[in-house]
Chains A and B, each alone.
Chain A
Amino acid sequence: SQQGEEDPQALSIQEGENATMNCSYKTSINNLQWYRQNSGRGLVHLILIRSNEREKHSGRLRVTLDTSKKSSSLLITASRAADTASYFCATASNAGKSTFGDGTTLTVKP
């Protein structure tokens, strides 16, 4: 199975609600990154959390990392219709290889 597995696979919420998605990985990491992909577009980098960090914030985004459980979560607060997209976690090796999780498809209904 892939390094970087996410759940849920799909999430549908109302505008204004919070959205939480989770990522688990298997090997040791240097950092973990979250990306967003709108339909038909490339990926956009959202946030990077290093292996020695436990929590990081960027605007409406909050990312946590638990290296003992090999897991991370992405929280989007006060969601908007424009947040509708697929969200991927990615882990990076020393050699520069990034491996993406299966992704969570988020639908925010207006």
Chain B
Amino acid sequence: DTEVTQTPKHLVMGMTNKKSLKCEQHMGHRAMYWYKQKAKKPPELMFVYSYEKLSINESVPSRFSPECPNSSLLNLHLHALQPEDSALYLCASSQTVVRGPNQPQHFGDGTRLSIL
């Protein structure tokens, strides 16, 4: 079992749908991350939240909208996605994002997203 919980595990949606991915951790971590991973590729960073504030947006299209309602929750709102957005979306958390050595990240098992 992982300490970072992601729901749903699988999601199939049409290009006109609106859906949300959810991520939850109760380790007291103050940094949370969204990654996108295509098959047989490494995870690609999308967003970083530090103390509930967006600190990094890796030029992600606006059809992906992150939200951090509190220190334990991270959402990714999806709207008007394209077939090429089909991928595994991974959430991760770490103790902090600070200057100096970064902390190890704890990953959830991801949401496998398919866009029809």
Contact = CB atoms under 8 A, between A and B. Distances in A.
Contact residues on A (Cβ < 8 Å of other chain), bracket: 20 to 34
Nearest to A48: B104
A99 B45 CA distance: 7
Interface in B71-104: 90, 92, 97-102, 104
A44 B55 contact: no
Interface residues of B, number: 30
27 contacts: A30-B101, A33-B104, A42-B2, A42-B107, A42-B108, A42-B110, A43-B90, A43-B107, A44-B107, A45-B105, A45-B106, A48-B104, A88-B43, A92-B102, A94-B99, A94-B100, A95-B97, A96-B50, A96-B98, A96-B102, A97-B45, A97-B56, A98-B45, A98-B105, A99-B45, A102-B42, A103-B42
Contacts of A43: 43, 90, 92, 105, 107
B42 A101 contact: yes
Interface string A60-104: 000000000000000000000000000010001111111111110
**DSSP class of B's interface residues: helix, strand, loop or mixed?**
loop
B21 interface: no
Interface of A: 2, 4, 30-31, 33, 35, 40-45, 48, 50, 88, 92-103, 105
A76 to B, nearest CB: 18
